[in-house]
Chains A and B, each alone.
Chain A
Amino acid sequence: MAEFDDIIHQPLRLKIMAALNALPAAQGLEFARLKKLTGATDGNLGAHIETLAKAGYVAVDKAFVGKKPQTTVTATADGRGAFARHVATLREIIAGAGPDGG
């Protein structure tokens, strides 16, 4: 039985995890790129990344590129596993509902 993950299922966190999981392992996305992809505001995105980081699902790396600060977010192995299980759960819910989706 797959497991439903309330941390991931929140709409913006789901988008963040989906975006990071679309990348090869160990590759992350810059905060600005993630903001563009998800359509979130700075504050909202930052808060949800923090929630995912506290759960151990993403790693946040802050560095300076030249004189500009750059934040890169990467899905951890735990995060990738949790996301895969969450997607499996969603598919089970749909499959369990039958062909008419009801």
Chain B
Amino acid sequence: MSGVDARQAAQALSEIDAIVRRVRQSRIYDIASLMLIQWGGLVVAGYLGGYFWPRAAGWLWVAVNAVGVAGSFAIGAVVRRRTGAGAFDPRVPLALLLFFAFGYLTCVFGAFGPRELGAFWPIYFMLVYTIAGLWVGSAFVAIGLGITALTLLGYVFAGVWFEPWMAVVNGGGLVLGGLWMRRD
């Protein structure tokens, strides 16, 4: 006889659920933090490159996104191999394709200038982070909303320093967010 009543059994199951949620969140943070740090470094390079060589900014950002996507897949593959996690999910590249296609169309139809482009993409990225964070962890929500707010501040007030500002708050914010996720 266990001597455990229904209330105690329910409490034990509730504790199990809580721990399982924390382990899953920890595994998501593990992979997401590496991606955030990678994207943060690339974004710093993209904004500073655009500031110092504005005529090359378009191609620079194409390169930043290509390297970022390739790097994200590489990180995913390494972590999957290290942890024995599930197989590659073909919906991921499809989701990325839809994400970039919608963003590109928005920029074309919106006839954005360089400054608007510099503000639109990080806000668009952070929208996805924030929405994902509602399910996978509050760190994503904090990073998403924080960088969105700082981007809007820079768009309105940073003047000619907009790109260096974005290098710090967007690139730096992603790196710091990634490091924060790995703090333990």
Chain A residues in contact with chain B, CB under 8 A? Answer: 4, 6, 9, 11, 14-15, 18-19, 21-27, 29, 32-33, 36-38, 87, 89-91, 93-94, 96-97, 101-102
Contacts of A4 in B (CB 8 A): 2, 4
Contacting pair A27 B22 (CB below 8 A): no
Q: Is B84 within 8 A of A26, CB to CB?
A: yes
Task: Classify the interface of chain B: helix, strand, loop or mixed.
Answer: helix
CB-based contact A102/B15 at 8 Å: no
* Given known A-B contacts A33-B184, A37-B23, A93 and B16 have beta carbons under 8 A apart: no
Report whether B19 and A93 are in contact in the complex, using a CB–CB cutoff of 8 Å: no
Q: A19-B23, A37-B23 are in contact. Are A94 and B6 (CB under 8 A)?
A: yes
Least distance between A87 CB and chain B CB atoms (Å) = 7
- Complex CA distance for A94 and B12, rounded to whole angstroms: 11
- Candidates A14, A26, A36, A89; contact of B15 at CB < 8 Å: A14
CA of A25 to CA of B13 in the docked complex: distance in angstroms? Answer: 21
Give the distance to chain A from B86, nearest Cβ to Cβ, in Å: 8
Instruction: Give chain B residues whose Cβ lies under 8 Å from the Cβ of A32.
Output: 184
Please name all residues of chain B whose beta carbon is closer than 8 Å to the beta carbon of A101 when the two chains form the complex: 6-7, 10
Residue of chain A at shortest CB distance from B10: A94
Identity of the chain A residue whose Cβ is nearest the Cβ of B2 in the assembled complex:
A4
Find residues 68-101 in chain B having any chain A CB closer than 8 Å to their own CB.
83-85
Q: Is the CB of B5 within 8 A of A93?
A: yes
Q: Is the CB of A22 within 8 A of B13?
A: no
Closest to B13 in A: A90
